Amino acid sequence: MRDSTFKGALSDRTAKTFMGVLFGATLLVTLLNQVFPPDSALHVSAYTVTLLGKYLCYALLALALDLVWGYCGILSLGHGAFFALGGYAMGMYLMRQIGDRGVYGNAELPDFMVFLNWSELPWYWQGFDQFWFAALMIFLVPGLLAFVFGWLAFRSRVTGVYLSIITQALTYALMLAFFRNELGFGGNNGLTDFKDLLGFSLQEDSTRVALLMATAISLAGAFVLCRWITGSKLGRVVLAVRDAESRARFIGYRTEHYKLWVFTVSAILAGLAGALYVPQVGIINPGEFSPLNSIELVVWVAVGGRATLYGAVIGAILVNYGKTVFTGIMPEAWLFALGGLFVAVTVFMPQGIVGLVEKHWPSLKQRFLKTPGDNDTPMAEGEQS
């Protein structure tokens, strides 16, 4: 049995392997971007740096979903909502940073408010000029929404497909609300045209690299946090709730408290992912609330493999890499490919890529031993504990 303290989670083999691969890849990309001049063959463009940062944000979001779905059995089809809320909180801070550099040159009001003839900043925009306040809101807003929503849903013992449907309705309702100009979040244009973050210009390569690093560190931190949670007694209770909820309740666990706890932590992680995502892609709009996004997220986790944590990360990166390539070649076919992928994974590899690798690990290992140095799946290797 693993050491169930936080320190134990930090030093276990899987976490070390995970962080090694993650930081190794991030440092390599950083180095290739910063050291080599743009005309060198080894140079990695800022576009690629940002793309990788985006993938890591998705990976963090997938990690958050795996915690509730893989471990607690709550299939949330609305996790995109928490991601988008975290993104909007960051977007509001970035909007306030623009100051008088906007099109209308108004130091106090963002452009879209000037355009709407608003005379003063709405109360809920107050404080977002301070980074610490925005950072607090990044955690607080998704967390609070998840807490209230979860409290109502789990207390009423809404489970299974019904819960999935209402989470979907939640994100859809938020999307419709955020599309409205009167709500004060920029309507369908959302928030964009950001200039700088903490005084660093978002157009600079060095800022982009720093954002990539920050995302990698957040992902690693979230991974260790999730390993700690799932390795603790709480993690075992949560698994028990997934497998036999009424039995767990009978033993004396308030299962709704456990579900609420995990759901809220997961929403906070999703919000953090959204906040890191927005400065890298430069825009947040209500499209992020779209139910389709949340469903895509479920596909990432299913493809990677549920209830392993690193499976979700692998799935998110692979599917999104596939999406980048695919939409470059045949954009209109992507949704069909995604749907086909989901069906194929459900039918042929219910445990996802990680499950497939683990199943065939003994024979793969033999082949690897013959050709040392060939190491395609370093992260799957760690999970033997």
Residues that bind another protein (CB under 8 A): 4-5, 229, 232-234, 236-237, 239-240, 243-244, 246-254, 257-258, 261
Rounded to a whole number of angstroms, the minimum distance from the CB of residue 69 to another protein is: 15
Closest approach of another protein to the CB of residue 82, in Å: 19
Q: Which is nearer to another protein, 5 or 324 (CB)?
A: 5
By beta-carbon proximity to another protein, the closer residue of 4 and 106 is: 4
- How many whole angstroms separate alpha carbon 218 and alpha carbon 97? 23
Tokens of 181: 């100009």
Q: Which two tokens stand for residue 273?
A: 């992912």
Report the residue number, 259 or 323, with the smaller CB distance to another protein.
259
| Residue 178: burial class (beta carbons within 10 Å; 0-12, 13-18, 19+) | buried
Give the residue with the Cβ less far from another protein, 260 or 299: 260
* Closest separation in Å from C-beta 307 to another protein: 9
The backbone region for 3, taken as left when phi is positive above 0, alpha when psi lies in -120 to 50, beta otherwise, is: beta
CB 248 → another protein: shortest distance, Å?
Answer: 7
Nearer to another protein by Cβ, of 36 and 250: the residue is 250
CA 177 vs CA 88, 180, 190, 237, 287: distances in Å: 13, 6, 12, 37, 11
Indicate the residue among 89 and 268 with the shorter CB distance to another protein. Answer: 268
For residues 14 and 34, what is the distance between their CA atoms, to the nearest angstrom? 30
Residue 276: half-sphere exposure toward Cβ, Cα within 13 Å: 29
DSSP-assigned letters across all residues of 59-99: HHHHHHHHIIIIIT----S-HHHHHHHHHHHHHHHHHHHHG
In the complex, minimum distance from the CB of residue 160 to another protein, in angstroms, rounded to a whole number: 18
Task: State which residue, 124 or 250, has the beta carbon closest to another protein.
Answer: 250
Shortest spacing between CB 156 and another protein, in angstroms: 16
What per-residue string of b and e applies to 108-138 under the rule 16 or more CB within 10 Å gives b?
Answer: ebbbbbbeeeeeebeeebeebbeeebbeebb
Least distance (Å) between residue 171 CB and another protein: 25
Q: Quick one: 180 or 254, whose CB is closer to another protein?
A: 254
CA distances from 146 to 79, 155, 174, 222, 260 (A): 10, 13, 13, 18, 8
Cα end-to-end span (Å), the chain:
8
Contact 64, 273 (CB under 8 A): yes
**Minimum CB–partner distance for residue 328 and another protein (Å):** 41
Separation of alpha carbons 233 and 228, rounded Å: 10
CB of 237 to another protein, least distance (A): 5
Q: Using the minimum distance from each CB to another protein, give the nearer residue, 149 or 289.
A: 149
Question: Which of 217, 194, 191, 284 has its CA nearest to residue 53?
Answer: 217
